[in-house]
Structure formats: structure tokens, C-alpha cells
Amino acid sequence: MRKSILLAAGLLFSISAQAQLLDLIKSTVKTKTGVDLDNPAKPKTPATTTTTSTTTTTPTKTSPINLGSLTSTQISLGLKEALSIGVTDGVKKLALTDGFLKNEAVKILMPEKLRKIDTTLRSLGMGSLADEGVKLLNRAAEDAVTEAAPIFTKAITSMTITDAKNILLSSDNAATNYLQTKTQSQLFTAFQPKVKASLGKVGADTVWKNLISKYNTFTGQAVTTDLNEYVTTETINGVFKMVAEKESGIRNTPAMRTTSILQKVFGAQDGK
């Protein structure tokens, strides 16, 4: 009987100890985590914070040339004025004595076909005759270019620029190239008689006949060339080089825009 009592007491003690231990665990869990094991609540799902990402799209900055305030007529007028100034200024410089001869950009050299004449004459001590021949070619161009100015001016004022904006926004000498393409043949036909008269006026034709004759005598060859055609082409090319130089200056140097229309039209292309 006593043995049964002791066994029961031990069992009660064991149950009590386990209960105390369980209470201690519950208390510790509640203290550390705030979770009551006697009254467990459904675990809270952590709130999901949805972050709305707002992407601010910054418009790509472009720098279009502002032609909105310019009409096609204004652009055309501006281009024509730039070309007119280029022709006037270029012709004025080229028409001076040595305007062609001392300007390496436009100087008319001996025709390629006849350059062997230059070499031969110089080897024979006739370099001065060769120099005289080249000088008179340039003198003829200097004389003829003044009379040709109205031809260039008429070509400029009468041309229609349907693609004026493209020309304005193109290369530095786009208007000059356009003018040359449209007028080269017309200018040559109108200009050739002027050059022929100038070749005779300055005595270039006589000197060159003598020069070629001497060459043919010494070499036994028969060399001929059309000086009129050659000088006409070179003179026209020289004027266009001067016009292109002026156009480039007006495009790139605001100080060279001496009129309001040039300032307005070419000022619009400064940011291109």
C-alpha cells in the first residue's frame, strides 16, 4: 500500500514539474516574440508594401534649327543675297591687277596639255616667254571677269530655289554648288566671247601663237590648244571659288552678315 502511495506521489510530482516547465516555455516565448501559445492567433502575413515605380521620362533634347519663323521666300532671298554679295565681292577682287595672277587659289596656270612647252622653253633659256604667256592668261581673266559680273547676277536673281531649306542647312558652299550646277553651261556660252575679246585686248593670243610656234620649231611637233575655252572655264571656276569662300564666311562668321536678311536667315542655321 505504501509503495502505491509513493508511486502516485512521484507521478504527480512529475506531471507538476512538466506543467511548470511548459508554463516557463510559454512565458519565455511570449516575452521574446509576443506570441501567446495559449491563445495562438493566425500568423499575420507581413504587409507587402507595393512600391510604385514612377519613371519620369525626360524628353530627349534635340536642337532642331528653328526655321519655323522663316518663310521659303525669306530663305530664298537670304541665299540669293549671300550669292550676290559673293559674286560682287569676288569679281571686285579678281578684276584687280594680279587678282588672278597673285591669288594661288584661282591663278590660271599653263594648260596641262601645254605644260611640256613650259619645261622645254625653260630648258632652252626662254623661261621669261613662258612666264609672260601665263601672266597674260591671267590678265585676260582679270579683264573679262568684270564684264561677266552681270551674267552671274542675272543667273542668281532668276534662279528658283525649290529646296531652299535643304541648301540652307547643307554644307558651307551648298548654294554656290547649286548655282554652279544650274548655270555653268549658260555662263560658259555667255562668257566665252568676253574672254576671247580680253585675250586679244591684252595680247595673250599673239604671245601664245609665238610661244607655241617656237616650241613646235624646236621640237618638230605640232601642238595646238583652245585658249579661249580654257581661260573661260578657269575664269568661271575662279569666280565660283570666291563665291564659295564668301558663302562659307557668311554661314560661319556672324560679323560677315551685313544685312538684316542675312542675319535672320543664316542666324537660324548657327546651331546646326
Q: Hey, what's the cell of 94?
A: 579678281
Of 41 and 121, the structure prediction assigns the larger pLDDT to 121
State the CB neighbour count (10 A cutoff) for residue 242.
24
Residue 141 CA, distance from chain mean position = 32
CB-CB contact of 86 with 262 (8 Å): no
Of 38 and 172, the structure prediction assigns the larger pLDDT to 172
What pLDDT score does 159 carry? 77
What pLDDT score does 23 carry? 61
What pLDDT score does 235 carry? 94
Residue 100: HSE in the Cβ half-sphere, 13 Å Cα cutoff: 27
| pLDDT of 58 higher than 50 | no
Q: Hey, what's the cell of 42?
A: 493566425
CA-based nearest residue to 134, from 154, 115, 156, 153: 115
* H or E stretch covering 22: helix 2-33
CB-CB contact of 226 with 196 (8 Å): no
Q: Hey, what's the cell of 82?
A: 549671300
CA-based nearest residue to 267, from 254, 256, 255, 258: 254
CB-CB contact of 243 with 79 (8 Å): no
Q: Hey, what's the cell of 14?
A: 512529475
Residue 6: HSE in the Cβ half-sphere, 13 Å Cα cutoff: 3
Residue with the three cell numbers 532671298: 77
What pLDDT score does 64 carry? 44
**Among 23-32, 120-129, 138-147, 213-222, the least confident range:** 23-32
Say which DSSP state 162 is in: T
